[in-house]
Amino acid sequence: MSNNINLKRGLNIPLLGEAILKTGKTIEPDIIAVKPTDFKGFTPRLLVREGDKVLAGSPVLADKQCPDILITSPVSGTVEQVVRGEKRKLLEVRIKADKAGEAVDFGIKNAASLEAAQVKELLLKSGLWVSLVQRPYGIIANPELKPKAIFVSAFSTAPLAADTEFTLGAEAENIQAGIDALAKLSDGGVVLCLNAKTASSSPFHKLENARIFTVSGKHPAGNVGVQIANISPIRKGETVWTVSLVLLAAIGRLLKTGKLNLTRKVAITGPEAKEPCYVEALPGFNMKEIAEFTDNSKGDVRFVSGNALTGTNVGADGSLGFFDDQVTLLHEGTERELLGWAKPFRTSQFSSSKAYFSWLLCKKKYPIDTNTHGGVRAFVQSDVYAKVLPVDIFPIYLLKACLAGDIDNMEKFGIYEVLPEDLALCEFIDPSKNEIQAILEDGINLMIKEMA
């Protein structure tokens, strides 16, 4: 197979509010939220109580099904509050940072000299094992399995995604250490995918001990699931693991310093962002820390942890997710337009189907809001999904199988190859206004339940 993947299908969404390449501030949060809901397949068991002292790297939660899998504190401080929801579901553990920066010392390690069992033990004890995501299903990786390969996407094509060369360009040595360690966990080693447009000048193209592919195309070309489907599709009975470049760098820092350090550059983006830029922060910081970057006096700003397509609406009092390096600030689209469908001459709104003449303005960016411009309609047969999905599956048949709970057809039509994020564009362009990501998520949950 060629190491150059050229994807023909996809769609880039011209959303306004791209972050300029500068660091606006360093956030030293008062409260950090540890959220078990960030980790699919994790059944939390609380290991701390309110008032307990913790260090960065101290265990906070353990998985009931696999007690060796831990979630640890990203900061030193005191457990201030345990937040529960309906039926006492554990939602958050809020830790009040003490600014001392004390951390558990796991010992400096040489990745090249470690055995697979030692790498696994270090990641489990430090809480970084949860950064490994297992496909199919997108759950936390099972420590008892050996995947056929571990995939890393070194770029993102999502709307306003953080520029990894800016955020992680100086972390090449840490990323190399992370690759050297993770390569011990799979016979297929690590597969690293670079953006074909910038591969030759990228600080990541000299990384060793990994199979490197270059990928070109529109979104979702940067999705690791799309890359897997075009390099080594997942068949029934096969397992692959993925890890984000941000967390791969964190693994490398752990090896080189012996301490857990989840600090990252986070892109503050979106049409509602004032002077979009980057901030130095930890996952779990409260959105109140970036209040200066937007005007939410009317309460009409949606705070999304992640990108506009697949991120989570956390609200003005929410916190950044463990896997996210982007915050998107969008206008809550509650306005209605009379006979909007009959106004093709508009140049101020984006249309993926070229229904408006705005498509002639190729380089224009749009302040797209959360308005869906219509309600749910009949789920009709259409080829629109296939035009933006560069994966060799039948998305409409897969979604209908998910709605019907038909496991045989879900397997037949590609449930093993995709996660909701891979079909996010299908939801964006869907003329029927279906919640496609939620439909696929329900199908995956059914597969987990029935195939366990």
Q: What is the pLDDT of residues 197-245, one digit of tens each?
A: 999 999 999 999 999 999 999 999 999 999 999 999 999 999 999 999 9
Dihedral pair phi/psi, residue 277, rounded to 5°: -160, -160
d(CA 153, CA 221): 10
**Sheet arrangement for strand 133-135:** 4-6, 210-216, 190-195, 150-153, 240-242, 133-135, 139-140
Look at the pTM and tell me if it is higher than 0.75: yes
pLDDT of res. 342: 62
pLDDT of res. 99: 82
In contact, 221 and 7? CB cutoff 8 Å: yes
Q: Which residues pair with 23 in a beta bridge?
A: 278
pLDDT of res. 362: 72
Q: Where are the domains of the chain?
A: 4-12+107-257, 27-97, 395-451
61: helix, strand or coil? strand
Mutual orientation of helices 245-257 and 172-182 as an angle, nearest 10°? 90
Across 43-77, b (16+ Cβ under 10 Å) vs e yields: ebeebbeeeeebbbbbbbbbbeebeebbbbbbbbb
In contact, 150 and 241? CB cutoff 8 Å: yes
d(CA 64, CA 70): 10
DSSP β-ladder status, 326-331 and 264-269:
parallel
Distances (CA, A) of 43 to 38, 241, 400: 11, 20, 29
Q: Where are the alpha helices (DSSP H) in 297-416?
A: 395-404, 407-412
d(CA 376, CA 371): 13
d(CA 54, CA 76): 5
Dihedral pair phi/psi, residue 216, rounded to 5°: -125, 155
d(CA 172, CA 187): 23
CA dihedral 175, 176, 181, 186 (to 10 degrees): 90
Assign domain 27-97 to a CATH class. mainly beta
pLDDT of res. 340: 63
pLDDT by 10s per residue, the chain, length 452: 569 999 999 999 999 999 999 999 999 999 999 999 999 999 999 999 999 999 999 999 999 999 999 999 999 999 999 999 999 999 999 999 998 889 999 999 999 999 999 999 999 999 999 999 999 999 999 999 999 999 999 999 999 999 999 999 999 999 999 999 999 999 999 999 999 999 999 999 999 999 999 999 999 999 999 999 999 999 999 999 999 999 999 999 999 999 999 999 999 999 999 999 999 999 999 999 999 999 999 999 999 999 999 999 999 999 999 999 999 999 998 877 766 666 666 667 787 777 676 666 678 898 999 988 777 888 877 788 989 999 999 999 999 999 999 999 999 999 999 999 999 999 999 988 899 999 999 999 999 999 76
Q: Where are the alpha helices (DSSP H) in 243-394?
A: 245-257
What's the half-sphere exposure (Cβ side, CA atoms, 13 Å) at 73?
Answer: 29
Cβ-based neighbours of 198, under 8 Å, separated by 6 or more: 155, 165
Please count the other Cβ atoms lying within 10 Å of the Cβ belonging to residue 135: 22
Q: Which residues pair with 190 in a beta bridge?
A: 150, 210
d(CA 162, CA 75): 24
d(CA 268, CA 221): 22
